[in-house]
């Protein structure tokens, strides 16, 4: 079925402060996540059990460097399955929230991975990124990851994307008129998990890694209306909406969901696992 959907990480036409408007668009969107630190941990999806199980089937738990942990949503899960995690987070508010959430279960470093100097830290067994790999400098990220890994080390990454769920809620069609009005995303097909693109060619072209596994994972999450609005306010394209545009979007969502207690959102992820050459 073809339907129009909002692009979670698209650049909207109506921007607000405090995210600096003079930053390049990609940096402005990336920096905006720090302003959502108070709601990120509650709203963002956890990795599905199938993905974590696949990860540990391929990589024995050891020392892991996580890139862009935000408030530690996936960091907690990595620690639970046995990894010793050091996590590098760009946003100062997000890093502070991650430290509060994780305590001594992981080391949180407030820095940009693109510029971070690990100093005398020993090499890692795994570099992992959950919904953050695409924000990194494409010219350097594979080389930087490789330099942090020991012999036989692995790289793993995935992104959580909105996909078609079983018995898809008609709300997603109905809200598109508002999204089109706000410039939050072009009309497109809401994909199934098998439609999500992989990055195999990109990984191989880096010359630093060989792909050993690509697996696809689908799951659903139920949200209350307030919970769904909180989720939206952790997406970069929504964070930078001006006040009037956000108010319009919130009003229309609440109107379209009148009398509906829960909303089901489908999630999909493509887990890439590669080994150092």
Residue 42 pLDDT: 87
Fold that domain 25-276 belongs to in CATH: Rossmann fold (3.40.50)
| CB distance 240 to 177 below 8 Å | no
Question: Residue range 81-107: average pLDDT?
Answer: 95
Instruction: Summarize pLDDT for 7-27 with one digit per residue, the tens.
Output: 344 333 333 333 334 434 444
What confidence category does residue 188 fall into, taking pLDDT thresholds of 50, 70 and 90? low
pTM: 0.85
Q: Is the peptide bond before 18 cis (omega within 30 degrees of 0)?
A: yes
**Residue given tokens 């698209």 in the structure block:** 10
CA 228 – CA 244 distance, rounded (Å): 19
Domains of the chain, by residue range, sit at: 25-276
Q: State CA 187 to chain mean position distance.
A: 22
10 vs 176: which has the higher pLDDT: 176
Mean pLDDT of the chain: 86
Handedness of CA 259, 46, 160, 40 (dihedral sign): positive
DSSP string across 25-52:
HHHHHHHHGGGGHHHHHHHSPPPPHHHH
Q: Is 255 strand, coil or helix? A: helix
- φ, ψ at 199 (rounded to 5°): -120, 30
| CB distance 231 to 43 below 8 Å | yes
């Amino acid at each position: 079925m073809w339907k129009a959907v909002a692009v979670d990480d698209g650049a909207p036409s109506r921007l607000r402060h405090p995210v600096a408007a003079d930053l390049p668009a990609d940096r402005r969107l990336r920096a905006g996540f720090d302003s959502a630190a108070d709601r990120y941990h509650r709203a963002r999806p956890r990795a599905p059990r199938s993905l974590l199980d696949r990860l540990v089937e391929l990589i024995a738990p050891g020392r892991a460097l996580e890139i862009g942990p935000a408030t530690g949503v996936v960091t907690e899960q990595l620690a639970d399955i046995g990894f010793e995690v050091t996590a590098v987070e760009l946003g100062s508010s997000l890093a502070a929230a991650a430290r509060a959430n994780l305590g001594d279960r992981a080391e949180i470093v407030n820095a940009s991975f693109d510029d971070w100097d690990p100093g005398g830290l020993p090499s890692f067994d795994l570099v992992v990124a959950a919904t953050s790999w695409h924000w990194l400098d494409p010219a350097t990220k594979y080389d930087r990851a490789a330099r942090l890994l020991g012999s036989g080390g692995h790289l793993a990454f995935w992104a959580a994307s909105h996909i078609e769920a079983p018995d898809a809620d008609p709300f997603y069609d109905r809200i598109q008129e508002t999204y089109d009005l706000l410039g939050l995303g072009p009309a497109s097909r809401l994909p199934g998990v098998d439609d999500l693109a992989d990055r195999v060619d990109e990984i191989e072209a880096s010359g630093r890694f060989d792909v050993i596994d690509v697996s696809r994972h689908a799951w659903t999450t139920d949200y209350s209306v307030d919970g769904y609005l909180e989720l939206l306010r952790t997406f970069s394209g929504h964070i930078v909406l001006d006040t009037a545009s956000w108010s319009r979007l919130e009003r229309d969502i609440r109107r379209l969901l009148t009398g509906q207690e829960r909303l089901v959102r489908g999630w999909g992820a493509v887990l890439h696992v590669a080994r150092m050459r």
